[in-house]
Amino acid sequence: MTRSAVMTIEGPCAELRLCQEPCNEIGSEMLLALEDALDRLGNSDARALVIHSDRRGFSAGAHLRELHSAIVDRAPDDYGPDLRSFIERVHAVMDRLDMLPLTTIGAIHGPCLGGGFELALTCDVLVADRTARFCLPELRLGIIPAFGGIPRLRRELPNGVIRDLLLTGRSLGAKRAWELGLVSQLVARGQALSAARACARQAALFVPSVRREAKRFIKPLPVEELARERAMFLRMSRDVHFKAALAEFVARSDPMPYQPLAVPMGGRDGARRGEEEAT
């Protein structure tokens, strides 16, 4: 089995490379790889972590085809406990990443969608190249983001921007994400990883105990909101619309099925840009 994520540690800096075809979908294999990587990191002396991808984007989000196959022939009362267990495991991993006692830097390029966006939001610092695009398309599946995205995004962006992302499914380009403060550094195409590595080397210079205290103070874990999000998602996952939307997704044959479907906004001229990119 090909590894979905690979951890390398050299001195005070560690790197977590996402490497699952086609675009780092987060399913059972990726989740196991992330758990193993975190266990290894916990036994190291690393002071900074870079998370990046060697695929054509950072991550397309949750592994929806795997999810569909797991529930398609089952009633909600049957698949509910398994889905709850999976979501709780995902949240445990995301919370561990969020609260790591070291500085985490996400190097983002290309699509950073849904669950992949939620993974990026666990990082302390985001470095993006100009190809990066952030999106939360979950509402078209009849659900809300399930991996902790809304509570974590509320730490970073004004609520009006979050409503736009969530309720329209439009995306943020790299430049707009940088202007809003979601992205700390905006770099040229292909330069996100080198910039993130430089950031990690700088962060690794600081006294670990001081860094831990500073991070704990400035980046609290939104425990109650995360619990509410899990409960809301699990309730929505029982609705017939959820299964129907998953089936529609699986049936799509276009090369980027995880992209949100086009919905015209304000006429035909320039509609695609308007419907997909939040400005």
Enumerate the active-site residues: 62, 115, 118, 138
Q: Which residues pair with 103 in a beta bridge?
A: 48
- Distance (Å, whole) CA 111 – CA 178: 16
Quickly tell me which residue has 């550094």 as its tokens: 185
Q: Which two three-digit tokens encode residue 107? A: 């190097």
Residues 6+ apart with CB under 8 A from 2: 19, 20, 21
- Distance (Å, whole) CA 179 – CA 199: 19
Residues 6+ apart with CB under 8 A from 119: 26, 51, 59, 94, 97, 147
Closest by CA to 233, choosing from 20, 38, 67, 34, is 67
Which string of DSSP letters, residue by residue, matches 64-107? Answer: HHHHHHHHTTS-HHHHHHHHHHHHHHHHHHHHHHHT-SSEEEEE
